[in-house]
Structure formats: structure tokens, C-alpha cells
A and B are shown apart, each in its own frame.
Chain A
Amino acid sequence: MSDMLTAAFLSALISGGILAGMPLLFASLGETISERGGVLNIGLEGMMLMGGYTGFVVTLYSQSHWLGLLAGAGAGLITALLMVVFCVRLGLDQIVVGIAILIAAGGFTSVLQRAQFGTTYPRLDAMSAVEIPLFAKIPVIGPSLFAQPAIVYVGFALVAVLHWVLRSTNMGLNLRAAGEKPEALDAAGVSVTAVRSIAALSAGAFAGLGGAYMSIVGAGIFVPFMTHGAGFIGIVIAMLGRGRALWVVIGSLLFGMSVSLTTALQLVGITVPIDVVNMLPFVAVLVVLVIFARQAYLPAALGLPYKRGIR
């Protein structure tokens, strides 16, 4: 067992964990915003696929990773407009609309991918890593943690920003009120529709960014349905994180590592069948849910449309 603690194993585990965990982080941050505001975004994975495909295509033609990531976030945001119109404004069932978005986005991106590239899967160049001086020299964790593409640092910065917004701003207070008791927010003179629209759109942008990270930075290619349930794991992480940004980070990285564990094991000579690899995140979800589900907290008005005067 001492092999498992080698430097190679650990740095593979950590860097792999970040690689696989970042999309989850973006998606679950988005879901956190959305859920805090009372909008349950089941279509998260659909928005990730839209962001993944759009980001990939834009990067392929513009040769700019950043433009691609931005386009991915934009595509997620536009997809989330459906949530805004149907759920926030018209008050339709959030779960039904979410599932519709999920299925439609999956089909839409596959068709486009097929039509454009046939059965070829063009590859993107890897996004260059940015080393943080000094920190990157730390043995074992240095190279894996502090020599990452810049978008990874942006991701962690977003965590801090979201944490601050939720805790210490008027917007954060409004957002939490919209999820807990929208009629109180309305009575206080703030538009519930506006707050929830912002929440849903942010969720879309974050999910799109997560999808774009997956295709541009993570895989370098776009394959139909490449998210493989990442959106749903993101929803689980957001729920278990109980709306706290820091817990969302920990959750995402843990799930990411559960994926990279097999790669790391291969490095030290233990081969694991690919089916087990694909299964691991979901086994992790089950285990975590069994252990922690009772601690999950959901806002009181989550998933409930708000209409003034109807109590």
C-alpha cells in the first residue's frame, strides 16, 4: 500500500481531481445561486452541454480558449432564458421545464455536432498552464495545485466572490429571501421576478462555463452527451453544500478526485476496468447521500412559482 502514497500518485490524484472537479464546481456554484433564489434548475446538464458545444466551436475557429469559455457561459445564459420565461415569469413547473431543457439541449448539441463534423472529432490545443511563483515549487502538491490553466484560478476566485455576495450584500439577502419566502421579499418592495431571473441566468452562465471547461480545457474535444451526468452531480453537490460556497468547493473536488482515483491507481500499477471508472462518481453520490442527506437543506420556497396575492 505504500506505493499509493508516492508523489506521482498524489499529484495525479490532485491534478486529476481538479481537472474533473472544475466543471462540477462551476455547475454546482450556478445551481447554488439558483436554488438559493428558489429556482430548481434540473436542466443544469443541458446548459452544460450547450456551453460545452458552443465553447468548443468558438475555440476551434477563433483559436482563443478564453473566447471559447466566454461563449460557453453565454450559451448557458441564453439557454437559461427559457427557465426565466417559462418558470420565473409564467410560473410553469420548474421540474418539467428543466427536464425539457435537459433533453432538448442534449439532442440539439448532438445534431449540430454531427452535422458539422460528421464522425470526426477535431482536437483543441491544451490550454497553457500558469505557474504561481513559489507555490508551484512546493513538492507534490505544488505542481498539481499551482500550475493550472488560469481559468482554474478564476474558478476559485468566483467561489470567494459568491461567498461574499451571499453573506454580505443586499443582493445576497434578496436572493436568499426569494428562495425562502418570496412574498416577504415582495412585501419589502423588491421584485421577486427580477431577483429570480438574475439567479436563473447566473446559474445558466455558470453551467455553460462548466461545460465549456469540460470540452475546451478538460477533454479538448466535444463528444455528444459528454457531460455524463455531471449536471446532476452538480445539483447534488449544491444541495449538500447547503448554499455555502466553501462546501461546494470541497464537494466538487472530492467528486473530481473520485474520478481521478482510477487514473492515479493506474500510475502506480493497479489497473481498474473502465466501467468501474465511469461508475465511481455515482457510487460516491450514493455513499455521500446515505451519509449526509439528512443534513441537506433546501430553501423553503424552492421550486415553487411565485404569484403575488396567491398564498
Chain B
Amino acid sequence: MTNGTPTHIETMTSDLLQADGVRAGATAGPIGPAVEVREVSKAFPGVVANDRVSLAFHHGEVHCVLGENGAGKSTLMNILSGMYKPDSGAVMVEGREVTIDSPRRAIELGIGTVYQHPTLIPVFTVLENLMLGEGVGVRLDVEGGLRALDRFAKTLGLEVDPHAPASRLALGQQQQIEIIKALWSGSKVLILDEPTSMLTPQGIEELEKVISQLRDEGLAVIFITHKLHEALDLGDTVSILRGGRVVGSWGPDVVKTKSRSEMQALIVGAMFGEGAGSLEDVAEVRDGVTGRARRRGLPNEPVLELVKVSVEALRGEVGVHEVDLTLRRGEILGVAGVDGNGQRELAEVIAGQRSMVGGDIRLCGESIARAGVGRRQSLGLRYVTDDRIGEGTVGTLSVGLNLVLKRIGEEPFWRGGRIREEAIDQAACDLVEGFDIRTPGTETRCGTLSGGNLQKVVLARELSFDPKVVVYNKPTYGLDLKTTLAVRDRIRDLAESAGVAALLISTDLEEILDLSDRIAVLFRGRITGIVDNAPGVERHVGELMLGGDRGD
């Protein structure tokens, strides 16, 4: 970022000046790493999150750190950004050993971080967000801030309205602002923690452009992800963390010379160790996605019918307009679309959590338009929410109670208004085992579980007690590969063996192509087309996702 350093930051620290000096020589010849961790260890009660991790991050290079959830990626990042202190080991910046004991210190050392969770303040304007914590002196230097923002926007090729409230920006734009914020005081190292998890395909594309731009400017980019193909697409250097250890690291000399499939084999081998062979045929690992053949001979027995269903658009949503869908017994109907095109509205209106303004919903031939959430639930209609923390589980209650949350007051868990601990415990133990929920016990507070296990709790609850139709809303969103695969297998098994129809709403096209029999595409709250899933269909689906070809 040679010309991107805001001039209004007058107090450049000596560290930064030194960093600048070293970087100036970057084009002249090979230099030492921008940041290096040596033998860094960090333990939390019960887990060793980082175990003697040694990695070097170089200028002008995108370094992808790849690993499953819980592999220690975020811990490593938090050590570099000053959120955690390592128990042992050294952190070197530009060849000098440093102690990063606060986010302030990290910023002073030229390490900017884009966290996984958005840190923009929704009610602040873009400019206010950027200037937060950066100003010197008493007055806010608005003019200086505007000039700096203008320079960043030009360098990165972005268009930004400095006075728009952050909440009004799309997620992709918000992230661009986060990146500018991380670079605001002249950072030489940019850490991105799972930056694509919230983005649409277009957003990801723009992000990749920005990252390449920054790399060419000479920044060291640390890209943390659990998605293999992102590491392959973006990484100059790829390192793998597993169980808190570095189990593989390949520099540009290897990454650039080997073919994609060779790299893939190397990475999969390192990530999953022995027995990785079974993962080869997984969509994530496969080269190029293609539709799976539609199952034939499905009984033509509709279980869920939506007839001209409309939902009023609330603030910031598109609503649902005259949607017609028919779901047959045992069928998986994928609903594709870019996020924010009415997915949540559709899911919630079927679940009964939102009122319809028109149309009818029929379950096994009978209208359930007037039935409440609980009634639909007991009729066998289930909803797996995409908000597993806020809506799906109660963090302060035990895993056991969360598993029977929707059966409060019912036999055999309650009798005569009294809770029956043994009955709940018994059922919970079965479900924990059946759904492979990794929890210390059924008494554990649900909020302490990881995202993947929370999702298993939600699934276990919704898929037990005789379901007929299940609405899945982004069932694998934010989960690691192993859990994702387990969840997909379960959806498929349930449909094939038990005949449970599934409405699979997902923004992950791969997932839809992998599981669905038919694919409906949602665009601005309308169904723009329904197609049979067959090899080569993704192109057509892609067009429908952008609203084209409505006459299909």
C-alpha cells in the first residue's frame, strides 16, 4: 500500500517506519517474512488450540491457512491480532521478536485484521466506522478521513458512499469497508478470518479481486478458511492446521508447479490423515460441479403443496410472491438463489412463523394455512432454521432440554405438569448417540457446543418423532467439511429410506446439485423456474438465479 497510507495519521511508529523500509526493498530481492510465529502454543481449559505452531507469512503473498473447525486457525489469528496471548513461543514482525498484547499493539505493528464476525457498527456511517479509534487529538478530522477513504477506494477500485450508515450496505460491501478499516493506519499484513462465509458468489469474486490487488501492492495476506477450493484458488502458500498443529505447508514453489488435483490430494491427505480416500468423491473435493441424476420412480404422491403463497415484505426483505411448489413423498426439492431473495420468508411461512397474505398451504392434501406452528409441528412438518444459535437452540439450557424443546408438556417427558428428568435424559442420550452429537453430557449447557454440534442438536430434535416434510434452511451454513457431509448424508438417507420429503433451501449451489431431485430457483421472492436435476443443469440454474428466463 505504497500510496494508501492516510496522511492524517501523523504519529507513525518506528515499527511501521521500519516495516516500510524493509518493504521498499521487496521488489529488489528476497527478504525475510513480514510476520512469523515460532513454536507458538496456546491452551484453553480442556483443549490445546495451538501446539508449537511455526509459520512464516511473506510480503506480496497470499498465505491460506486451511483447517477444520476447531483446528486452531482462529486461535492463531487471535494471537496475531492481539486478542489472545500465546502461552509459549515467539511472534516475529519484520524479523524482530514482539509482544502483541492488545489489538492496539497489533495495529501499531502494521497487522490489520478482518474478523469473521462483522465489527462495523450498524448505526455509524462508513466514515465514522473507519475513523473509530484512529484519530489523534480531540476533534474528528472528517476532511482527512474523506481524503484517505477516497485514496483507498481508488486503489482498490471500489465505490463507497462515506456517509451511508453501515447497516444499509450489502454484506460484500460491508466487508470491503472492514478491509479498508484493517488497512486504514497503513497495515502491511492483512488477516482475513473466514471472509467468504457471509458472501454471495459475486461478493466472493469481488473479494478475490481486492485480495489480488493487495498482494500486488506488496501486502502479506493471511487468508483463513475451511474451504479447500478457496485455498486452491487464492493461495500462493497453503498451510494446513489439524488439531492445533501444522500438518502441512507448501510454498509457492510447490503450489504453483503442481497441478490442481495433485495439490488437492496433498491437502486432503494432510487435513484428514489416513482414510481420506473416502472423501475423494465429495462435491467439495471434486473438480467442477455437476448435477446428479434424478432419481426415478418416485411415487407421485404430493405431501406438501404451496398454492400462490404470498408473504408481505418486511423492512429490508423482498417477501414472497405467488409461489407454487409441490413436494412429493421422498423427494428432495432444492430451492436455489442468491441470499436475500426470499429464502427466509419462504421457510418461515411454511413453518407457520409468518402470516400469509394470500394463497394456501396443504400438507397431505389438507390445508394448514390456519394451523399454528405447534399444530404443523405435530402434523409432521418440521423446520430446520438457519439461525441455529438465536432461534434453533437456547444456549443457557441443557442439551437434553434443547432436544425436547418443542415437546414441552407432552408425554412422556412431562406428566401432570411435572418434568420427568429420566425420560428426557433417556431420549436425549439416544439422540446424542444417534446423531453423533459431541457433547460432554446431556446436562451440558447448549451454548458451549460448537456450531456443528449445535446444528446436530437442531437436526436431532426436528428429525425425530415422525417427520413427514422437513424444510431445511441453509442446513450446512458455516459448518466444517466433515459435519457438512454428515448433514447431507442424513438429509439424503431420510428422504430415500424413510420417504421424508425435504425442501432444501440453500445458497450453496453445490449442495443443491448434490442432493436435489428437482431444483426451484428463487429470485426476488418469486420462483423463476423449476428444473429437473441432471448433469449440466447448473448453467441454466445460474441464469434463473439472476432472474432471467422466466418463461421456463
Chain A residues at the B interface, C-beta cutoff of 8 Å: 168-174, 176-177, 180-181, 183-190, 300, 308-309, 311
Contact = CB atoms under 8 A, between A and B. Distances in A.
A123 to B, nearest CB: 43
Contacts of B139: 168-170
B314 interface: no
Contacts of B131: 170, 173
B83 A308 contact: yes
A189 B119 contact: no
Nearest to B135: A170
Contact of A177 (B103, B124, B181): B124
Given A169-B139, A189-B103, A309-B84, A174 B124 contact: no
A190 B104 contact: yes
A184 B140 contact: no
B103 A187 contact: yes
B102 A189 contact: yes
B384 interface: no
A310 to B, nearest CB: 11
A236 B134 CA distance: 33
B315 interface: no
Contacts of A169: 138-140
Given A184-B119, A309-B78, A173 B83 contact: no
Contact-size category for B: 20 to 34
A186 B140 contact: no
Contact of B138 (A170, A176, A309): A170
Nearest to B138: A169
21 contacts: A169-B138, A169-B139, A170-B135, A170-B139, A172-B140, A176-B124, A180-B121, A181-B119, A183-B119, A185-B132, A185-B133, A187-B81, A188-B132, A188-B134, A189-B102, A189-B108, A190-B104, A190-B132, A190-B133, A309-B83, A309-B84
Tell me the dominant secondary structure on chain B's binding face.
loop
A186 B174 CA distance: 18
Contacts of A184: 119-121, 129, 132
Contacts of B140: 168-170, 172-173
Contacts of A173: 128, 131-132, 135, 140
By Cβ-Cβ distance, the 7 closest A-B pairs, closest first, are A188-B133, A189-B104, A170-B135, A184-B119, A190-B133, A181-B121, A180-B121
B477 to A, nearest CB: 18
A174 B132 contact: yes
Contacts of A170: 131, 135-140
A237 B138 CA distance: 28
B102 A187 contact: no
Nearest to B107: A189
Contacts of B377: none
A300 B137 CA distance: 27
B400 to A, nearest CB: 24
A172 B132 CA distance: 10
Nearest to B184: A188
A171 B136 CA distance: 10
Contacts of A185: 132-133
Contacts of A183: 117, 119
Interface string B74-88: 000010010110000
A180 B124 contact: yes
B126 to A, nearest CB: 13
Nearest to A190: B133
B442 interface: no
Nearest to A180: B121
Contacts of B105: 189
A169 B142 CA distance: 10
B413 interface: no
B124 A187 contact: no
A108 B106 CA distance: 47
Given A170-B139, A173-B140, A309-B78, 19 more contacts: A169-B138, A174-B132, A176-B121, A176-B124, A177-B121, A177-B132, A180-B124, A183-B117, A184-B120, A184-B129, A186-B103, A187-B103, A187-B115, A189-B103, A189-B105, A189-B107, A190-B104, A308-B83, A309-B83
Nearest to A309: B83
B113 interface: yes
Listed residue (B107, B131, B132, B138) with the most chain A CB atoms within 10 angstroms of its CB:
B132
A308 B107 CA distance: 17
Contacts of B117: 183, 311
B123 A188 contact: no
A180 B104 contact: no
A173 B181 CA distance: 15
Listed residue (B106, B117, B119) with the most chain A CB atoms within 10 angstroms of its CB:
B119
A186 B137 CA distance: 19
A183 B123 CA distance: 15
B119 A187 contact: yes
Listed residue (A173, A180, A186, A311) with the most chain B CB atoms within 10 angstroms of its CB:
A173
A173 B134 CA distance: 10
A180 B133 CA distance: 14
Contacts of B84: 309
Contacts of A181: 119, 121-122
Nearest to B185: A189
Contacts of B135: 170, 173
Nearest to A169: B138
A172 B136 CA distance: 13
B351 to A, nearest CB: 27
A287 B382 CA distance: 45
A225 to B, nearest CB: 38
Contacts of B128: 173
B492 to A, nearest CB: 33
Interface in B48-83: 78, 81, 83
A190 B128 CA distance: 15
Contact of A171 (B115, B124, B138): B138
B142 to A, nearest CB: 8
A183 B44 CA distance: 21
Contacts of B78: 309
B533 to A, nearest CB: 38
Given A168-B140, A169-B140, A174 B83 contact: no
Interface string B159-191: 000000000000000000000010000000000
Contacts of A189: 102-108, 133
A171 B469 CA distance: 55
Contacts of A190: 104, 132-133
A184 B114 CA distance: 11
Contacts of B83: 308-309
A142 B73 CA distance: 69
A298 to B, nearest CB: 11
Contacts of A187: 81, 103, 113, 115, 119
Contact of B123 (A180, A186, A311): A180
Contacts of B106: 189
A105 B504 CA distance: 59
A311 B74 CA distance: 14
Nearest to A311: B117
B528 to A, nearest CB: 37
